[in-house]
Each structure stands twice: as structure tokens, then as C-alpha cells.
């Protein structure tokens, strides 16, 4: 790995930690309903929202009530977004010639944005109107992220509370997270991005004359910065333009790229520290954060190294892929010169570790091993930082599994954060962890036996299979990035991937809240000499081991047929 | 921000009464809350937020907010400094190959090639591009910088590497009737190093370089 890349990764992680720790503390105050300093000016808005919605924020919800509220809110969101897309041609601000989104793509997109996936079976600047992007997609970028954080909050309350039946109030969590965390952060990030050159206008294009002849050309514009800020912060990832953050008006420089990269991991990293605060033991949050880092850093280093080495298939030609003072070098197909290989590869792992899914380079064109790491990071279940909220509750399910396995080794009833882990919790955790994995593998298997689905791939040989595997991994784990050569706009993929996204979101949320309800009712177990401490390097190692082992056992056979086979075919 | 706890909230050890769930409020009340809060989010996050960002951006940063458009000496808007455009005249520096379809560098429909590293079509396309560059300048016999034979992620990459620009100097200088040393110096003036020394790769903005070239040569190249 080049010195540039090492420095960039090091600075990135340092800045990330420096921002995530205070933000984590702040989010804990938001979730506890405490006073928020200068942002208390928004308190009248909060109270007004509760009043018109007929909500009493202090009303405690049971696990079942909380789940019902989450599901109903998501259903209403998906229906509204579907309707907006189908009607976009007849509502105001519609540019001429933009039609209604076809039903299959509209279903897929409605599910995709309400599940915080942001898989895009469409090209933003060619399919959606600016109004759809603003009041449809941008809104879900906020609230689907807030839903994730709310579910996390309820889950953590299950550990933190003693002999309780209430898990908090979903509406209050939703409103407070949106109002006090997501909106202020997005406002700041959006304006900083505009300063770097990201466009923000209500106009939809500019007409320019080409310098080298060839007449006039249209440059698509729009309210881009506001959507980009929240797509990064909320681990949504759905870009304004077709090529997402590779588009120069969505991500104009390596400085803009660095800011957007920070925004990808900022909230997922901060929530680890929020978790520590909420269970009144900061060390627990640090341990989970370090476990995530221990998986993230090696896979990032591997990806950067693979891409810096360049494409062996071009080595036979008189092409110079080496790095020097005059060029970054490396595998530049599908990458932008202003980012270079190092920032592109760092982005590829950050966006797949978090379930963000925005891209600043085309993962489809990565070297086989460079593309394997992002794919596997998704398949690990989006728990290495993961989606806002969803990543951490996923990782805590792995922690539950890890104490269970440790308990089996020594023959003791496992405990986590003072709560006894029993049969019900383990069953629910296993369901939540295996359903996305099953949806990935079974979906990919169904696709490769469906001629239309195979015909939609764009590359021959093992890489075509990788495109399919990536699509189902991305959908079932709510990531949203793609090996984008695959044409996913046909009926098979819009429906199958839509179902995979639904399973990957709600078949995890329901068991998570069920566990929370059971745990909250339990009285804490007093610490004893036999308690496995869950903040030590030993536990971090155990947690990392469980995540990697489950990920490897489940997916190595499929990966062998895709990226690994492709790697072996290269010269 | 808050490394030390505040004094006002009760300390954790004071064991507040544990919350108990209240009876449900019924489906209709839940549905009302969902619909009203989604509508409120639509107004706040879907209208007020983007409009606020647009307002501030248009007032404080109008150039960036509207696409960093570039006006040539004759007053024509010749593109965006951030968005690549096609150059094919031998007297201009060429950008990277573009995968947008059907027109290259179509800023209304961004796209990458998505060709896998193992796809024979990628190697074939790169070989053809090497041949094209060599044919345009028989003196350029060295290895071709990778950025000149690979398509970018967006199809709109505004930049090439400094090596990619230097590779084209003899062709451009011949076509323009300029001293190659002078053109090379122009390229060097337009190199943007990595930001802060470590962010991104060194690059040359093709549109800005070609505009400077037009100024140096006193006009556009003969076609």
C-alpha cells in the first residue's frame, strides 16, 4: 500500500473517532430526552408535531406496540412513495417529457428507500423528477435512518432497564432523532458540500456549448447537495445522479470525497459510543467499536492494495499502471482521476461496511479481489458499522451469540450487560442473522436458474455470477450498492430484490424488538467471578471471530464461484 | 463536546422507577400518528430543508450551486469546470474515454462501463485506444498512462493525470505550431497536486488546460 494511502486511511480514522465520540454522547442525550443546548430552540416544533399527531411522547410502548408502530410507519411511507412515483408526471415541478415511474421500478424503489437500502433500479437524472427526489426520496433518507436509530434505542433500553415492560416511545424517538440529529447535521454537511462545488438549484439543467465543436449540450442539475448530505449521513446511499458520488457535480474533488466519506461512517461509529452511554458503561461501546474496526481496517488495506496493483489483463499492453509523481496509477477503469485508487478503494469498503451503498467508483470494474472485500463486508450482515442503528443492533445480536458460544464452552448460562441470555433470545438472534443470509443465497440461486435474470448480467464468466451475488447480498442486507453492469430494471429483479430488501429489514427488526421486550422484563444478574467480561480484548477477539466465522462458512462457497474463480482466470 | 457529565440529570445510581408500558392506543390512533408524522417529515425534510439549503447556497455560493459554469473569452458558456467534455481535435488535449451512451461525455446521462477486469472487451478497448493515441502521434512511443485508456466511473471525468497530459504534448504542439517546451510548461502550470498533500491523485483539468491553450495560441485549433 502506498504512503499516500496509509496517511489517508490513518487521518480518516483519526478524524472519524474525534467526531464520533462527542456525537455519540450527544445522540445519547437526544434518546434520553435530555436538554440539548442551543438546539432546544427546536423544542416548540417538537411539541407541535406531537400535538398534531396526537402523540404523548412520555407514553411507554411495549415491544409489541413499538413493533406495530415501526411497521405501520414504514408501510405508510412505502405506499406514499409508490404513489408519488406513479403520479410524478402530473404533479408540479415535473420537467417536460418525464413519465410516471413504471410499476415494477416504483415498487422496488419504494421498498428500497423505506428500508434504508437505496438500491436504485433507475438512473436518477433520467427517471425521477426533482420533486420526487426531494419530497419522496430525500424524506425517506431521513426517516428510514431515524427508524433504524429508534429501533436501536429500543433494543438498548431492553438491556439497560430492569424489570420493565416499556421500551420507550417510537414516535418520540423518530421525531427527536430527525429533528435534533439528522436535520442539523445534514444542513451543515450540505452547505459545506456546496462550497466544494456540489450543485444545489431548483433548475434541472444548464445548456452549454462544447469548446471543441459539436454544438450545445445539456448538463443535468438539481437540488443535489441537500440529498447527498443525508444520503451519506443516514447510510442511505441513493444518489441524485445515475453514477452516484462518482458524478463530478455530486462529488467534485477529493476534499469533497473525504467529507462525504466521513459522513458515511460518522453516525454508525458514533452510535457505538451512544450505546456505551445508554448502558452506563462506556467500555462496552468502545469494545464494539474496536471489534468493527478490527474487521474494517484489514479489509480496507486489502482492497487498496489489490486496486493499486492494477489490472493484470492490461499488463500485456503498453499501458503504464504504476504510481509516480505524475500519476496515481492502479486499476483506473471505473474510477475518477480526482479521487485516485486509494480514496476510491477506501470509499468502496466504507460504503459496504456501513450499509450506505453510495459509490465514487464502479465496483463492477474492480479487480476480482478488490471487489471481493466490499462484497464480503456486505455479506457479513452489515454489522461492521452497518446502517445507522441497524448496524449496531446487528452487531449486538452477534455479541449475544458470542456470549452464548462462550457460555457453551464453560457450561454456564450466558449473560450480556447483566442480562441472562436464554433460549428465546438465541433463537431470535439466529433467525435475525440467518434470514438475510438465506435470502442472499437462495435469491442468487433462483436468479442463476432463471434465463432472463442471467441475460441481465453484463460481464461474461464468473464475474456475471458475481454481479448476481452482489445484487442479492446488497438487497438482503440493505446496502444498496451494486455491480452496476447488471440490468436490474426488469420484472424479475425489481420484485425479487424488493422482497429481499423487505426480508433483510423487517425480519431483523421484529426479532430484535422481541428480544428487547424479553430482556427489559428481566432483573439483572449480579456480577460474579464466572461472568464473562464483555469489554476485554478477549471478548473483542471472540466477537470478531464469530462474525468472520459465520460470514466465511456461509459465503465462501459462493465467493469461490464468483470473485475467486475470476481471479484465477486472470493472467 | 461533553467529556464530563452534566450536573443536572440524576446520576445513574439513583435507580429511577422502571417504565411500564401503557395499554395500546388502537390502530386508528397509530395510523394517524404515522400519517401525520410522515406528512410533517415531508414538509420539514422534503421541502423546508432543501429549500433552505438552496436559498443559502444561491445567495452565498451562486457559482458552485449552479454548476461551476465556465465562460470563454467570447462570452459563450463552454461547460462546467467540474464536468468533462469530449475533445477530439489533435490541437486539444483529450480527456479519458467516456462510457456514456450514445454520446460520449453526456452530462444528462452519466454512466460507467462496468467492464470487469477479466472482461476481454476491456483489454480489446484499451488496445484500440493505445493504437489511436499512437496513430495520432507517432513520436509518442512510451507506455500510455492508464487513465488515458480506461473509462471513468461517471463518464464525465474532467481530469487526466499529469502523465496523461504530458503524453499528448508533442501531438498538441505540432497541431498548433507551438514550441513543445512551451506547451509542456503550460501543462505543468495546470497540475493540481493532491489536496493537503495526501487527498486524491495529481490531476490536470482538461477544459481549463484547453482554454489556456487557446489563449496561448491566440484561438481555437484549425479543424
CA dist., res. A126 & res. A129, Å (int): 8
- Which of A319, A361, A459, A522 is the best residue to mutate to test the B interface, defined by the most B CB atoms within 10 Å of its own CB? A319
Reported as a single tens digit per residue, the pLDDT across A221-273 is: 999 999 999 999 999 998 889 899 999 999 999 999 999 999 999 999 999 99
Is A211–B163 a contact, with Cβ atoms under 8 angstroms apart? no
Q: CA dist B148 to A159, B127, B171, B193, Å?
A: 56, 11, 14, 19
Q: How confident is the model at residue A122 (pLDDT cuts 50, 70, 90)?
A: confident
With beta carbons less than 8 A apart as the criterion, state whether A534 and A83 touch: no
What is the chain B residue with the closest CA to A197?
B64
What is the chain B residue with the closest CA to A228?
B50
With beta carbons less than 8 A apart as the criterion, state whether A208 and A219 touch: yes
Is B54–A200 a contact, with Cβ atoms under 8 angstroms apart? yes
Is B109–A483 a contact, with Cβ atoms under 8 angstroms apart? no
Q: Which residues share a beta bridge with B71? A: B77
With beta carbons less than 8 A apart as the criterion, state whether A516 and A164 touch: no
Helix spans in A33-94 (H): 43-53, 63-86
Q: How confident is the model at residue B2 (pLDDT cuts 50, 70, 90)?
A: very low
- pLDDT (0 to 100) of residue B4: 43
What is the chain A residue with the closest CA to B121?
A459
Specify the pairing of strand B144-145 against strand A205-209.
Answer: unpaired
CA dist., res. B158 & res. B70, Å (int): 13
Q: Which residues share a beta bridge with B69? A: B80
Q: Which range has the worst mean pLDDT, A122-131, B30-39, B50-59, B152-161?
A: A122-131
| ipTM surpasses 0.85 | yes
Name residue, grid cell 472487451. Answer: B121
* CB interface of B with A, residues 57-96, below 8 Å: 57-58, 61, 64-69, 72, 76-80, 82-89, 92, 96
Reported as a single tens digit per residue, the pLDDT across B68-91 is: 999 988 888 999 999 999 999 999
The number of beta carbons lying within 10 Å of the beta carbon of residue A209 is 16
Average pLDDT over residues A274-301: 97
Cβ of residue A57 closer than 8 Å to a chain B Cβ: no
Is B152–A364 a contact, with Cβ atoms under 8 angstroms apart? no
Q: Which range has the worst mean pLDDT, A203-212, A281-290, B22-31?
A: B22-31
Given a cut of 90, is residue A531 above it in pLDDT? no
With beta carbons less than 8 A apart as the criterion, state whether A192 and A429 touch: no
Chain B residue numbers touching A252 (CB-CB < 8 A) = 68, 82
The number of beta carbons lying within 10 Å of the beta carbon of residue A360 is 29
What is the chain B residue with the closest CA to A486?
B114
Burial class of A343 by CB neighbour count within 10 A (0 to 12, 13 to 18, 19+):
buried
With beta carbons less than 8 A apart as the criterion, state whether A191 and B63 touch: no
E strand or H helix at A463, and its extent?
A: helix A462-476
Cell numbers describing residue B167: 503524453
Q: Which of A174, A319, A361 sits opposite B149 (nearest CB)?
A: A319
Average pLDDT over residues A316-327: 92
Cell numbers describing residue B200: 486524491
- pLDDT (0 to 100) of residue A413: 86
Cell numbers describing residue B184: 509542456
Is A22–B1 a contact, with Cβ atoms under 8 angstroms apart? yes
Taken in order A34, A37, A38, A41, the sign of the CA dihedral is positive
Reported as a single tens digit per residue, the pLDDT across B115-124 is: 999 999 999 9
- pLDDT (0 to 100) of residue A427: 97
Average pLDDT over residues B179-194: 97
CA dist., res. B223 & res. B216, Å (int): 17
**pTM of this structure:** 0.94
What is the chain A residue with the closest CA to B163?
A326
Chain B residue numbers touching A143 (CB-CB < 8 A) = 38, 41, 45
Question: Using the 8-state DSSP alphabet, how is residue B46 labeled?
Answer: I
> Domain boundaries in chain A?
3-568
Give me chain A's average pLDDT, please.
94
Amino acid at each position: 500500500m502506498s504512503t499516500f494511502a496509509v496517511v489517508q486511511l490513518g487521518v480518516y480514522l483519526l478524524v472519524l473517532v474525534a467526531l464520533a465520540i462527542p456525537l455519540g454522547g450527544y445522540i445519547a442525550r437526544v434518546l434520553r430526552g435530555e436538554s440539548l443546548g442551543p438546539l432546544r430552540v427546536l423544542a416548540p416544533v417538537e411539541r407541535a408535531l406531537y400535538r398534531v399527531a396526537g402523540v404523548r411522547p412520555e407514553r411507554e410502548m411495549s415491544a409489541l406496540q413499538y413493533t406495530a408502530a415501526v411497521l405501520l410507519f414504514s408501510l405508510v411511507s412505502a405506499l406514499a412513495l409508490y404513489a408519488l412515483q406513479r403520479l410524478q408526471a402530473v404533479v408540479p415541478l415535473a420537467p417536460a417529457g418525464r413519465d410516471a415511474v413504471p410499476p415494477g421500478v416504483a415498487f422496488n424503489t419504494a421498498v428500497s428507500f423505506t428500508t434504508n437500502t437505496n438500491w436504485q433500479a433507475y438512473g436518477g437524472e433520467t427517471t425521477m423528477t426533482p420533486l420526487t427526489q426531494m419530497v419522496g426520496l430525500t424524506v425517506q433518507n431521513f426517516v428510514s435512518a431515524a427508524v433504524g436509530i429508534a429501533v436501536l434505542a429500543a433494543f438498548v433500553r431492553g438491556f439497560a432497564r430492569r424489570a420493565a415492560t416499556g421500551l420507550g416511545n417510537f414516535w418520540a424517538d423518530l421525531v427527536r432523532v430527525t429533528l435534533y440529529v439528522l436535520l442539523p447535521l445534514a444542513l451543515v454537511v450540505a452547505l459545506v458540500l456546496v462550497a466544494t462545488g456540489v450543485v444545489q438549484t431548483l433548475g434541472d439543467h444548464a445548456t452549454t456549448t462544447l469548446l471543441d465543436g459539436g454544438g450545445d449540450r445539456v448538463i443535468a442539475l438539481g437540488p443535489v447537495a441537500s440529498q447527498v448530505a443525508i444520503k451519506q449521513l443516514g447510510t442511505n446511499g441513493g444518489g441524485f445522479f445515475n453514477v452516484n458520488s462518482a458524478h463530478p457535480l455530486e462529488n467534485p474533488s477529493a476534499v469533497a470525497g473525504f467529507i462525504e466519506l466521513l459522513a458515511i461512517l460518522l453516525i454508525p461509529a458514533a452510535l457505538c459510543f451512544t450505546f456505551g452511554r445508554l448502558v452506563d458503561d462506556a467500555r462496552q461501546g468502545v469494545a464494539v467499536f474496536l471489534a468493527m474496526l478490527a474487521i474494517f481496517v484489514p479489509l480496507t488495506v486489502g482492497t487498496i492494495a489489490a486496486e493499486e496493483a492494477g489490472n493484470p489483463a492490461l499488463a500485456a499492453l503498453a499501458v503504464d499502471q504504476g504510481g509516480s509523481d505524475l500519476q496515481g496509477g492502479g486499476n483506473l477503469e471505473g474510477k475518477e482521476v480526482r479521487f485516485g485508487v486509494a480514496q476510491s478503494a477506501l470509499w468502496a469498503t466504507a460504503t459496504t461496511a456501513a450499509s450506505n451503498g453510495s459509490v465514487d467508483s464502479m465496483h463492477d470494474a474492480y479487480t476480482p479481489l478488490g471487489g471481493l472485500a466490499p462484497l464480503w463486508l456486505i455479506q457479513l450482515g452489515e454489522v461492521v458499522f452497518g446502517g445507522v442503528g441497524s448496524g449496531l443492533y446487528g452487531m449486538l445480536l452477534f455479541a449475544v451469540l458470542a456470549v452464548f458460544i462462550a457460555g457453551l464452552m464453560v457450561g454456564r448460562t450466558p449473560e450480556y450487560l447483566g442480562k441472562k441470555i436464554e433460549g428465546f433470545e438465541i433463537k431470535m438472534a439466529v433467525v435475525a442473522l440467518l434470514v438475510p443470509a438465506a435470502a442472499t443465497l437462495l435469491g442468487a440461486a433462483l436468479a442463476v436458474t432463471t434465463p432472463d435474470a442471467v441475460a441481465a448480467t453484463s460481464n461474461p464468466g464468473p464475474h456475471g455470477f458475481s454481479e448476481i451475488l452482489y445484487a442479492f447480498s446488497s438487497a438482503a442486507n440493505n446496502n444498496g450498492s451494486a455491480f452496476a453492469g447488471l440490468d436490474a430494471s426488469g420484472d424479475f429483479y425489481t420484485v425479487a430484490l424488493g422482497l429481499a430488501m423487505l426480508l433483510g429489514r423487517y425480519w431483523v427488526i421484529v426479532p430484535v424488538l422481541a428480544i428487547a421486550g424479553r430482556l427489559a422484563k428481566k432483573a439483572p444478574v449480579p456480577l460474579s467471578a464466572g461472568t464473562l467480561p464483555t469489554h476485554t480484548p478477549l471478548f473483542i477477539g471472540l466477537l470478531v471471530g464469530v462474525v468472520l466465522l459465520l460470514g466465511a462458512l456461509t459465503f465462501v462457497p459462493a465467493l469461490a464461484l464468483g470473485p475467486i474463480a475470476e481471479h484465477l482466470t486472470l493472467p | 463536546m461533553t467529556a464530563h457529565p452534566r450536573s443536572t440529570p440524576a446520576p445513574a445510581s439513583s435507580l429511577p422507577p422502571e417504565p411500564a408500558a401503557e395499554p395500546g392506543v388502537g390502530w386508528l390512533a397509530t395510523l394517524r400518528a404515522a400519517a401525520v408524522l410522515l406528512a410533517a417529515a415531508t414538509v420539514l425534510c422534503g421541502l423546508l430543508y432543501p429549500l433552505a439549503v438552496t436559498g443559502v447556497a444561491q445567495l452565498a455560493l451562486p457559482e458552485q450551486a449552479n454548476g461551476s459554469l465556465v465562460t470563454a473569452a467570447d462570452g459563450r458558456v463552454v461547460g462546467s469546470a467540474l464536468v468533462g467534455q469530449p475533445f477530439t481535435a489533435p490541437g486539444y488535449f483529450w480527456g479519458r474515454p467516456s462510457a456514456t451512451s450514445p454520446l460520449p461525455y453526456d452530462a444528462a446521462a452519466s454512466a460507467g462501463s462496468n467492464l470487469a477486469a477479466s472482461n476481454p472487451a476491456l483489454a480489446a478497448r484499451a488496445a484500440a485506444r493505445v493504437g489511436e493515441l499512437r496513430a495520432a502521434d507517432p513520436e509518442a512511443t512510451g507506455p500510455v498512462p492508464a487513465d488515458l485508456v480506461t473509462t471513468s466511473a461517471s463518464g464525465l471525468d474532467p481530469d487526466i493525470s499529469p502523465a496523461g497530459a504530458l503524453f499528448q504534448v508533442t501531438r498538441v504542439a505540432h497541431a498548433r505550431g507551438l514550441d513543445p517546451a512551451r506547451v509542456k510548461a503550460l501543462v505543468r502550470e495546470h497540475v493540481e497536486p493532491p489536496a493537503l498533500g495526501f487527498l486524491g491523485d495529481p490531476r490536470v483539468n482538461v477544459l481549463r488546460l484547453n482554454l489556456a491553450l487557446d489563449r496561448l495560441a491566440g484561438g481555437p485549433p484549425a479543424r
